Structure formats: structure tokens, C-alpha cells
Amino acid sequence: MRPTNRGWKLIAITILLSSSSILFMDPILMAASIISASILAASIVNCIRRVKKAGKVRVEPRKLDVKIRAGERGELLVKMYSETPFTIEEDHEWLRCDSRIVEPPSSLLRFEVGSDRSGKYELTSLRIGVYDFFELFKTDVRLPLTLKAIIYPRIVPWIIEVLRLIGERAAGFGETSGKRKGHGFEYLWSREYQPEDSFKFIDWKASARLQKLMVKDFLEEVYGSIKIIYDVRAHGPVSRDECAAYFLSILVSTIQAGLSPSIVLKNGDELILDLEDVNPVDMLKLALAYVVEPHIVEEWDVYELFEPKSARRILDVLREIRSSALEEVVKLKLDEMVRRLRVFLKKPRTHIIYVGCILIDSTFVKELAAMVADSGGKLSILTPMKPWLDSKDLEEAYLAYHSHRKLLRGLEKMGAEIKFGEKVLA
């Protein structure tokens, strides 16, 4: 038990009144000090009684498990039966409660679980604060509530989707006319639901697979050649997760649309992959290997992230890539990639999709925007919306925020379309 701010003030007043009454022998001051001391004593007794009642609080359910994707929020409902009021004192970055005060005889609490960072989070007991009726004293009590949360990386649903495509070998390859989302009857792809979308286009099967609301888009003729450029560098785990999810989602979407994308993976000035005219199944396997191995396997146990069947398939793909000729990719100079890019941009109606952290790769991105603008092509840039989430301190976050906004405005003036989600082919 400890005094609150209000309690410390009353204690100080009581001491002052008592000292003054003794010093000046004033009966009024003496009476005031006795009343003040009586209030403190009554508050202590009341707080002790409430603490005993708080020890009998019943929580239903006592154990909770939740699995959710990074960047999303999940809700958990907990019913509490109590004979005394108390407050919820737990306050974590990944856990919020909609109500701080619990009133007897029962209350239904809604906990919000979620974080921008993937990982395992656990709460072994719930800390509550018990006050007396004047809120002069407070005691912390632990309630028997266990909450385990696994927050998956954003990339996980797209890894599962890539595995499904590889398993079904549904990705066709060939010379196909370009198409984009628009008015038509031919299915394009399923993407995440946006507030302006109509419910009649909801893709229930995709929604069930990806555990989030998805809608269908349809095709009309327009697209030419598509090249996806992905820089694997990142500010930290949050932006790395976002960019990897963007890259896989765009690759899956273009292949599902019957398009024949070429992909470039680079690490700054080092070119990792530059693939053209590759069978989509092999392209998906290579992309999965280069994205999964550094992003997932080193940080997570793959069998904790996925169901056993999916986990085995991921490890099989990684082993296949390591043992096959596909792994033997010559690391070319970035200058050679830029030269090939200029040749690519001479084709009609080209569409370049850049994925990466533009603050890290600002020089290349600005040169790319200028090249695409000169050729009359289209440039879409997928970049983390809040790169400062990976900053070490507030000063670094502040600089990242302003630099990011300034760079975005410059790229938009050069004709680039900036996107912060997995919705690019629009």
C-alpha cells in the first residue's frame, strides 16, 4: 500500500496541522488535525478491505491465446466479477484496454492486441490498482490472467499464397496482352478490402485463406511490360517486413493476372537477381527463397510460424534452391542492370514497380524516376508509410519523418505514383 498524490498532500496537511496545534496550542487546529488523521485512518482500513475483496476477483477466461499479423489489431473480451471497484494498470505497446475502471458486480472488458513489430508477447498476470473510497491510498494486485500473443510478420499470408501457387502449378507463362484493373468481366486478382469497395465483389475463398477481407478486381486491356525492382535493405525489422510483403504480393498478383513480369533484387550497388523470361514457378521459388531465408528462418522457428505441411514445403523449396543451378546467380554490377533497364524502358507502355526503403536508396530511386519519366513509362513506388518506426530515438525519428515527406513530394513531382500498400495494379 502506498499513498497517492492526493494522499501525500493530506498527510502533509495533517503533519502541518498537528505541528501547528502543538506549537500554538490552538484547539481549532487540534480538531482539524484529528479530523484529517481520522480520514487517513479510515482510508487505510477501507483500502485493506478492498484489497481482500480484490483477491477474490473472478476472471473468465483465465487463459487467452491470439495470433495476428503485424500492423493489425485484434480484440479479446474478458469478463470480470468483482465485489469492489479497481483500475486496470497494465499498459504495453502491444496491449490496450478500452476501459480503465472496473465496477462491481461484473464488467466486460475489451482488450486490443497488436503491434507493428512481429514477435512473441506474453502477459503472465494482470496488474490492477485498488484504491480506497477517497483515493488516498493505492495497492497493486495481480489477477490470474495469462495472455499469449504471437504477432506474425506481414509477409506470412503471402508466403502461404506463394506456396499454394507453387503447389498447384497454377501460374501460367507466355505471351499475354497487358491488362489493368477496370471495367470488365475477366478476373484479375484478389486484394485487401478498402472502405470504398462494394461488398458484392468480396472474394470469400481468398478471405478465408488470408484471414482478412479480400475483394476481386477485374481486367481490361492496357498493360505492357512489367518490371519489379526490390532493394532488400531496410531501416529495421518493421520496414523489412513491410517491403518483403509488398514484393511478394506484387509478384503473386502479376503472375495471377497472367502477366510475365521480370524481377530485379538488389542490395544497394550489388545486384542479386535480374530475371527475365523465367518460368513463373521457378521465379516464385527464387523469390520465396531470397525473401524467406534472411527474413524468417533466422528470426523465427518456421514450425512455429506455419502449419507443419506448409513449414515442410518452405524448407523443401529452400533446399531445392540451394542444391539446384538456380542458386548460382552471378552478382552483376548495378551499372549493367541500369543499362538493361534503359533497354527495357524502350518498350511501349512499360510499368516499373519499385519496392524498398526510399530513404536508404534515394539516389537510385530519383534516377529511376527520371529515366521512367523520360521514356513515358509508369513508375509505382511501394515504400513503408512510417519508416521512422525503426528509429532508435525521437531525434532520429523526427529527421526520418521530414526527410521521407520531402523525398515523397519530390518523387511525386517527377510523376511517380507512391503507394503504401499491397494495391499497385490499380
pLDDT level of residue 12 (50, 70, 90 thresholds):
very high
pLDDT level of residue 171 (50, 70, 90 thresholds):
very low
Q: Tell whether omega for the bond before 280 is within 30 degrees of 0, i.e. cis.
A: no
Query: What is residue 118's predicted lDDT score, i.e. its pLDDT?
Result: 83
Number of Cβ atoms within 10 Å of the Cβ of 363: 8
Closest to 223 measured CA to CA, from 354, 104, 340, 380: 380
Whether 246 shows a pLDDT value over 60: the answer reads yes
Distance from the first to the final alpha carbon of the chain: 60
Whether 356 shows a pLDDT value over 60: the answer reads yes
Cα 351–chain centre separation: 28
Query: What is residue 170's predicted lDDT score, i.e. its pLDDT?
Result: 42
Burial class (CB in 10 A: 0-12, 13-18, 19+), 246: buried
**Residues whose CB is less than 8 angstroms from the CB of residue 214 and which lie 6 or more positions away in sequence, other chains included:** 190, 191, 192, 193, 202, 203, 206, 207
Average of per-residue pLDDT across 97-112: 88
Whether 43 shows a pLDDT value over 90: the answer reads yes
Burial class (CB in 10 A: 0-12, 13-18, 19+), 348: exposed
Strand partners for 147: 64, 123
Higher pLDDT, 394 or 426: 394
Q: Which of left, alpha, beta for 135 (phi over 0: left; psi -120 to 50: alpha)?
A: left
Query: What is residue 188's predicted lDDT score, i.e. its pLDDT?
Result: 56
Give the phi and the psi of residue 102 in degrees, each rounded to 5.
-110, 125
Average of per-residue pLDDT across 326-353: 72
Whether 310 shows a pLDDT value over 80: the answer reads no
Query: What is residue 168's predicted lDDT score, i.e. its pLDDT?
Result: 65
pLDDT level of residue 229 (50, 70, 90 thresholds):
very high
Beta strand pairing status for 270-275 and 137-143? unpaired
pLDDT level of residue 183 (50, 70, 90 thresholds):
very low
Query: What is residue 181's predicted lDDT score, i.e. its pLDDT?
Result: 46
What pLDDT digit, counting tens, does each position of 271-286 carry? 888 888 778 888 888 8
Q: What is the mean pLDDT of the chain?
A: 81
Average of per-residue pLDDT across 339-343: 82
Q: What 3 state SS string does 247-269 have? A: HHHHHHHHHHCCCCCEEEEEECC
Which three three-digit cell numbers place residue 142? 495481480
Q: How far apart are CA 78 and CA 88, in angstroms?
A: 12
Helix (H, G, I), strand (E, B) or coil at 33: helix
Query: What is residue 221's predicted lDDT score, i.e. its pLDDT?
Result: 45
Average of per-residue pLDDT across 191-211: 75
Q: What is the largest CA-CA distance in the chain?
A: 104
**Residues whose CB is less than 8 angstroms from the CB of residue 293 and which lie 6 or more positions away in sequence, other chains included:** 318
Strands (E), 12-105: 58-60, 63-69, 74-81, 86-88, 95-97, 101-102
- Domains of the chain in start order, with CATH, are 1-152 (2.60.40.10), 156-178+223-419 (no CATH)
Sign (positive/negative) of CA torsion 368, 373, 377, 379?
Answer: positive
